[in-house]
Structure 1
Amino acid sequence: MTELSRRSGVPIPTIRYYIREGLLPAGEFTSPNQATYDDSHVRRLTLIRAMVEVGEMPIAAVGRLFRHLETKEGDEFATLGLVQYSLVRELSPSDGSEAMAQVQDLLDRLGWQVRDQHPARSVLAATIQTLERLGYDDVLGLLDRYAAAAHELAEDEVDLMLAREGLDNRAGAVVVTGVLGDAMLGALRRMAQEDVTAAKLRPARRKSATPRRKPAK
């Protein structure tokens, strides 16, 4: 376990906690006080850290996800869907009938195939409702553009996921793109917003910026 801790960067008490909670399989015991661990344990620990530390998922939700993967009930589409659903933080509108209808109208207009139980439906409905209450209805004018950008990105993400062999590897790709992909997208979007804001509010500074030197021949 000391070596596993060194390779993964996860403290030994945390590893033991993950094993007790069923998030990490126990090692293969070679003696009453000694067990061996392999690369699969390192990968699992890396995945857990991504979900807990970056995705801020509760330990209980991570545990439910891994338990479902171990049972592998249902077909691959259903299983991968449940993996994705587990990454969505629950958020529901206070009175969601009208906002949920707006979400359904959007999906119908786009022609997207999204199951009724997808938790992102209620998240989007709650977000729409909040924007309207705050008086930022104009942001909803970007909804179709958000959807188009998301769908274009999803095409590439799903292709990357399907290029992997085996349900476990594909489920891992769903988690990674869902958690770390969201983190990358959020960071890039905020940096892009600053760049565009600077271009519009400080155009003179950009024009007067020192040009990059060409590499010497």
Structure 2
Amino acid sequence: MRMTELSERSGVPIPTIRYYLREGLLPSGRFTSPNQATYDDSHVRRLTLIRAMVEVGEMPIAAVGRLFRHLETKDGDEFATLGLVQYSLVRELSPSDQSDANARVQDLLDRLGWRVRDDNPARSVLATTIETLERLGYDDVLGLLDRYAAAAHELAEAEVDLMLAREGLDNRAGAVVVTGILGDAMLGALRRLAQEDATARKLRPAKTARTKSSPRRKPAK
């Protein structure tokens, strides 16, 4: 397909596709002349994945580029490669002194028996979150930490099973990206819907929440 069709099928504007090509995020097509190239379904899938990372996951282009470079330079260690892909999905935080919070995160991981590498950036995210909750005076939220962990691990096991059911490292890495970004978005949306439902049940137990307006009936003549 030509770039025009690629743009139509992916929903990505042609100038943006050219930008992704220049930045190395999208592989080059097959050149039929110095200024013309053709593309295939793999380019459509890659563009769809990039859109998910940038628009839904709000990942910077530089982070997306790092992720794809990890895939291009993958070696025989599948676990390490998938780990690098997952780490690329975590937003980098400004360095700060989190020694106490980091120690608490390590204590939590030890108590749960989770096998997590020291360089996992999610450690820093959790440590920063703990510090922020304490600074805001919401220490009681930390009482839910074990319940958060239990729910997260149950979901992670199901996600990993889905990922490992796919053949090939590229397909598995794609599943890591999709569950990491779209899964986070889906989980966040469901959680907020559930919070509204739980609040309604506790504060308005005798009322049924209206989800949409009922059509007005015309008065009988």
Mark yes or no: TM-score above 0.5.
yes
Worse-superposed segment, 11-20 or 29-38: 29-38
Runs of 4+ in 1 over 2 A off after TM superposition: 91-95
Unaligned 5+ runs, structure 2 = 212-221
Give the TM-score taking structure 2 as reference length: 0.91
- d(CA) in 2 for partners of 1:35, 1:137: 58
- d(CA) in 2 for partners of 1:85, 1:53: 19
- d(CA) in 2 for partners of 1:127, 1:53: 24
Unaligned 5+ runs, structure 1 = 210-217
Note the 1:172-187 alignment, pairs <5 A: 172-187=174-189
| 1:185 Cα deviation after fit | 0.1
- d(CA) in 1 for partners of 2:119, 2:35: 46
- d(CA) in 2 for partners of 1:60, 1:95: 26
| 1:177 Cα deviation after fit | 0.1
Worse-superposed segment, 145-154 or 93-102: 93-102
Indicate the SS of the match to 1:29. strand
Whether the 8 Å contact between 1:103 and 1:125 is mirrored in structure 2 is yes
Note the 1:191-202 alignment, pairs <5 A: 191-202=193-204
Instruction: Give the CA RMSD over aligned residues.
Output: 1.6
| 1:33 Cα deviation after fit | 2.3
- d(CA) in 2 for partners of 1:50, 1:119: 21
| 1:3 Cα deviation after fit | 0.7
For residue 218 of structure 2, what is the aligned residue in structure 1? none
For residue 137 of structure 1, what is the aligned residue in structure 2? 139
Note the 1:1-217 alignment, pairs <5 A: 1-73=3-75, 75-91=77-93, 94-206=96-208
Indicate the SS of the match to 1:206. coil
Aligned length: 209
Give the TM-score taking structure 1 as reference length: 0.93
